[in-house]
Amino acid sequence: MSEALKKNYRVYDELGRGRFGVVYKAYSKISGEPVAVKSINKTQIGDCSLDRKCLYNEAKVMNKLSGVPHILRFFEVYEDENFVHIVLERCNGSDLFGRILSRNVFSEEEAFAVMRPLMEAIAHCHRLGIAHRDIKPENVVFNDQNELKLADFGSAEFFQGDQLMSGVVGTPYYIAPEVVSHRDYNEKIDIWSAGVILYMMLAGFPPFHGQSAKDIFEAVLRANLRFPTQVFRSVSPTAKDLLRKMLTKDVHRRFSAEQVLRHPWMTSRGGGGGGNWPEAVAVCEASRSAAVLS
């Protein structure tokens, strides 16, 4: 553990563990504020250029996103010979994965309460030229005030304008088809992943699944989006319309984060869009067509 880090923080128990790092519970010696310290072991990364790039990107990304609503707060970073230590806001609440497991199916209003701040966080990232690239329920956490925070930018990447990215990153159920097929991709891979989360909240299971990672990837590549009647009988047409626009394999037709936020299901607070739904959808379609042509 870095001496500079130990000078400013009291580091205690382990909170979690990932492929390259460990997250610890800690407190600021100056303010007493509870924080989390993510310690990444540089010696375990080896020669993989993608993993090494992600390691150094994470601190830069978190610093650029500092103060953005619904994104885990970044405080500072320390580095020594073997480790990079990132000091972050500590969220003691559950993550979205735990809530999905315990609740199984969300009402549309409950799903909206997750999707609105999540999409605002993703939209902020994209405006700043950052793609998260690993949106999944485990990376959506809640603080003591039950505020949603997007976390774990260990796979994030910077982009400019229409610049494409590469590299297979993400998690099987949530990964976009263009990533699975090893094609270059843009920030809309995050929209696909968020669409999978919305589907899971409304249905209780993922839209593309299988018995193994290979089966899941094949299902993702087919992108055969279905709404089983028994499950989706009570789900509004607007919710299903939004899912189609987030989970389309055609990247040009897939919504941007801003378009998702303007969709009738979002503007009606998950209430189905009311009587103006067809007119509002027409506005969204016109907006999408303009985006494709521009």
Chain segment 209-223, per-residue pLDDT in tens: 999 999 999 999 999
Question: What type of residue is 148?
Answer: L
Q: List domains and CATH numbers for the chain.
A: 9-89 (3.30.200.20), 96-293 (1.10.510.10)
Contact 194, 206 (CB under 8 A): no
Report whether 38 belongs to an annotated binding site: yes
Contact 262, 101 (CB under 8 A): no
Q: How many CA atoms lie within 13 A of 80 on its CB side?
A: 11
Reported as a single tens digit per residue, the pLDDT across 279-288 is 434 434 443 4
pLDDT band at 53; cut points 50, 70, 90: low
Report, as residue numbers or ranges, the catalytic residues.
134
What's the rounded Cα separation, in Å, for the pair 285 and 278? 10
pLDDT over 60 at 191, yes or no: yes
The DSSP bridge partners found for residue 26 are: 11, 35
pTM of the model: 0.86
Where residue 170 falls (left for φ over 0; alpha for ψ -120 to 50; beta otherwise) is: left
Strand ranges in 212-257 using DSSP code E only, listed in sequence order: none
User: Which residues fall within 8 angstroms of residue 77, CB to CB, at 6 or more apart?
Assistant: 59, 62, 63, 84, 85, 86, 87
Range 135-144 average pLDDT: 94
Comparing 114-123, 143-152, 236-245, 254-263, the range with the smallest average pLDDT is 143-152
Range 183-192 average pLDDT: 98
